[in-house]
């Protein structure tokens, strides 16, 4: 399955989850009804009382629903809330030890390789077991949590396997499903908590109470809540087990290193993976390994497959299996069509088809991972350190907006920046601009992503001010270049978790008719990039339009429509609400528009990746073996 099929599968699992949740509520309603019969001394004389049953069903359903809705709304704050509930602290580069810095480097490498923003990393300092989790609603707001025990006991390759496993959950839509599962099951757990409350009030009951005392009814609710807890475990197991196998396989596919994953799983057999935090029960389905204390019930209702089976599946992969693994990079060897900007594999450029672009969404190949490692290793030290510090990251964002070709335009931008920013920040911006001017243009987008964790540490107001300042620099230029558009679009999208943390995207559009005009607008922008002649622009535009489903039944303009940054931004906001299948069709149409002339210019690559990432469809970096990284000596000497 590709990225979009995984997203559809996650939606189907959500529907299955709701069905199992409704069934669990029905079981609990019946159990509470029977307890109420004894409470009011109606049983065993009678077992059916319609009025009582309706009252119990109504109160129970409303209580569970309210508790679930409360938790779901609470979780809308994002994965950082879960990390903090589990005892995690945000791992900042300046406060990290050697083990922490290694973890941050691995996360950065994987993020650049997969084309998503660098997730925030939380360290569960008090947890000595080997475990990790990923949480969030989309790849753009994901966080990763890792226990201290993982840093202490795992090698770099093993830790890389764990992070690759968690990135699979990020890319395959598992995180949103896990958060919904946590929210819904909180309602079932509420019954147990209500019973516990009544049980603690038992001292208030007297021997003169008629019928069953409240404390006994509370004990019954706790027992019924225990049934709900088991139902919750069953739901978690039904949803999570196969996805853990998939995440293990994806981690191996990302790194082509089964020994790393096997080593982790074998250490889990010998050591402990459980957590001591009270929140482990609610989040047990989100972890890399079993987070709960082993028991008979845990073995029966485990959220994770047996370790022996996971080891057998991963450890059974040999060199031939790895070579046979589907790779979005792979292409038949007889193809001789080289692109100006192709995907590098083993040092050889290969042609790229639109189908490969679609298959690469949400995927990571070893070539991309090696590219990310090389990028981080070759960045000048000033930039490498600057992306991790808040003020320097802001200066880098400003530097990326400065013109590097026209001195007059650049001077006009600097004059404007001096009027709105302090002198030390302007000076840093100019220093970073000189460094960035020596880099390959294809490294600009990864550099933006590297700054995001530091930029998100500011307030929502500061993030908005940053975006407005970048817009001001673009305005001072006097015209909107393609890179200006891409930079504004990516910064706006990446900083959304900070600017509007409670916002989440849900599917609202399932037919192409609902988003047709938005698709036309986006394809119009792409067609104008990389083409100079009107007939070539029109041909590229029509090639993309006819890839859209139902194009024959829709009204199609002969030429691209006029559009600006504001129009495209509004269209992309609507397209983010489309179903995964519609997003797949749009990405395919975009790829056919861009790749029509058998060349991918840096501008086309930037815009294609920017549009795809804002649709929550991350595309890995475009690689080119003919254009290497700048040498450190050259970049540092400037």
Q: Is 292 left (phi over 0), alpha (psi -120 to 50) or beta?
A: beta
CA 179 from centre of chain:
12
**How many whole angstroms separate alpha carbon 352 and alpha carbon 410?**
36
- What are the distances in angstroms from CA 623 to CA 315, 349, 370? 31, 9, 11
Residue 402 phi, psi (nearest 5)? -80, 140
**How many whole angstroms separate alpha carbon 107 and alpha carbon 170?**
12
Closest CA to 234 of 284, 175, 172: 284
* Residue 438 tokens, joined: 């020596």
Per-residue 3-state assignment (H helix, E strand, C coil) for 95-118 = HCCHHHHHHHHHHHHHHHHHCCCC
DSSP H/E element including 90: strand 89-90
**How many whole angstroms separate alpha carbon 345 and alpha carbon 342?**
9
CA 110 from centre of chain:
12
DSSP H/E element including 185: helix 174-200
**How many whole angstroms separate alpha carbon 515 and alpha carbon 38?**
57
* Residue 507 tokens, joined: 């599917």
Q: Which residue has the tokens 């396989």?
A: 249
Q: Which residue has the tokens 């049980």?
A: 199
430-433 contacts at long range (C-beta below 8 A, 24 or more positions apart): 430/399, 431/382, 431/395, 432/382, 432/383, 432/386, 432/392, 432/395, 432/396, 432/399, 433/399, 433/402, 433/404
Q: How many CA atoms lie within 13 A of 437 on its CB side?
A: 15
Residue 622 phi, psi (nearest 5)? -75, 125
Q: How many CA atoms lie within 13 A of 256 on its CB side?
A: 15
Task: Give catalytic residues, as residue numbers.
Answer: 166
Closest CA to 148 of 168, 121, 169, 173: 121
Residue 520 phi, psi (nearest 5)? -60, -40
> Which is it for the CA torsion 200, 202, 204, 210, positive or negative?
positive
Beta strands per DSSP E along 399-461: none
Buried b (16+ CB within 10 A) or exposed e, 236-275: bbebbbebbebbbbbbbbbbbbbbbbbbbbebbeeebbbb
């Amino acid at each position: 399955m590709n990225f979009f099929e995984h997203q559809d599968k996650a939606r189907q699992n959500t529907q299955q989850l709701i069905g199992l949740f409704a069934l669990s509520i029905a079981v609990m309603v019946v159990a509470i009804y029977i307890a109420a019969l004894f409470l009011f001394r109606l049983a065993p004389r009678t077992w059916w009382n319609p009025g009582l049953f309706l009252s119990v069903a109504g109160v129970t359903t409303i209580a569970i629903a309210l508790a679930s809705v409360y938790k779901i709304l609470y979780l809308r704050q994002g994965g950082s809330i879960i990390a903090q509930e589990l005892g995690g602290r945000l791992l900042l580069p300046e406060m990290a030890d050697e083990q922490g810095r290694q973890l941050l480097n691995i996360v950065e490498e994987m993020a650049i390789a997969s084309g998503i923003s660098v997730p925030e990393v939380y360290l569960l300092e008090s947890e000595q077991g080997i475990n990790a989790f990923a949480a969030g609603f989309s790849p753009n707001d994901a966080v990763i949590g890792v226990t201290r025990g993982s840093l202490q006991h795992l090698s770099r390759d093993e830790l890389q396997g764990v992070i690759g496993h968690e990135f699979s959950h990020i890319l395959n839509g598992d995180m949103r499903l896990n958060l919904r599962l946590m929210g819904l099951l909180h309602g079932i757990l509420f019954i147990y908590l209500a019973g516990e409350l009544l049980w603690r009030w038992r001292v208030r009951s007297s021997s003169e109470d008629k019928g069953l005392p409240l404390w006994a009814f509370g004990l019954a609710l706790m027992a019924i809540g225990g049934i709900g807890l088991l139902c919750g475990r069953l739901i978690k197991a039904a949803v999570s087990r196969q996805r853990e196998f998939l995440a293990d396989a994806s981690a191996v596919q990302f790194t082509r290193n089964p020994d790393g994953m096997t080593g982790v799983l074998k250490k889990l057999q010998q050591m402990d993976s459980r957590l001591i935090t009270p929140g482990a029960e609610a989040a047990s389905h989100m972890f890399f390994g079993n987070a709960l204390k082993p028991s008979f019930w845990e073995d029966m209702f485990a959220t994770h497959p047996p370790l022996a089976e996971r080891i057998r599946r991963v450890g059974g992969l040999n060199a031939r299996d790895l070579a046979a693994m589907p790779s979005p990079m792979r292409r038949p060897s007889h193809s001789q069509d080289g692109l100006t900007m192709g995907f590098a594999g083993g040092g050889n450029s290969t042609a790229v088809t639109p189908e490969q672009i679609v298959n690469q969404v949400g995927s990571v190949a070893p070539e991309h991972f090696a590219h990310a490692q090389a990028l981080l290793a070759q960045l000048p030290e000033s930039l490498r350190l600057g992306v991790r510090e808040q003020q320097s990251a802001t200066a880098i964002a400003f530097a990326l907006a400065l013109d590097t070709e026209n001195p007059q335009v650049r001077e006009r931008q600097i004059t404007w920046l001096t009027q709105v920013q302090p002198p030390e920040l302007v000076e840093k911006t100019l220093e970073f601009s000189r460094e960035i001017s020596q880099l390959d243009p294809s490294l600009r987008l990864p550099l933006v992503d590297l700054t995001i964790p530091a930029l998100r540490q500011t307030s929502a107001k500061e993030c908005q001010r940053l975006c407005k300042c970048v817009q001001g620099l673009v305005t001072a230029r006097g015209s909107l270049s393609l890179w200006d558009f891409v930079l504004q679009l990516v910064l706006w999208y990446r900083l959304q978790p900070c600017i509007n943390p409670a916002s989440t995207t849900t599917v609202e559009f399932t037919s192409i008719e609902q988003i047709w005009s938005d698709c036309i607008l986006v394809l119009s922008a792409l067609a104008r990039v990389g083409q100079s002649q009107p007939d070539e622009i029109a041909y590229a535009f029509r090639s993309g339009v006819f890839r859209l489903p139902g194009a024959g039944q829709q009204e199609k303009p002969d030429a691209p429509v006029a559009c600006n940054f504001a129009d495209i931004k509004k269209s992309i906001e609507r397209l983010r609400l489309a179903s995964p299948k519609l997003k797949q069709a749009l990405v395919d149409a975009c790829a056919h528009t861009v790749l029509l002339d058998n060349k991918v210019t840096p501008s086309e690559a930037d815009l294609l990746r920017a549009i795809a990432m804002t649709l929550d469809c991350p595309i890995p970096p475009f690689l080119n073996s003919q254009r290497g990284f700048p040498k450190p000596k050259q970049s540092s000497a400037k």
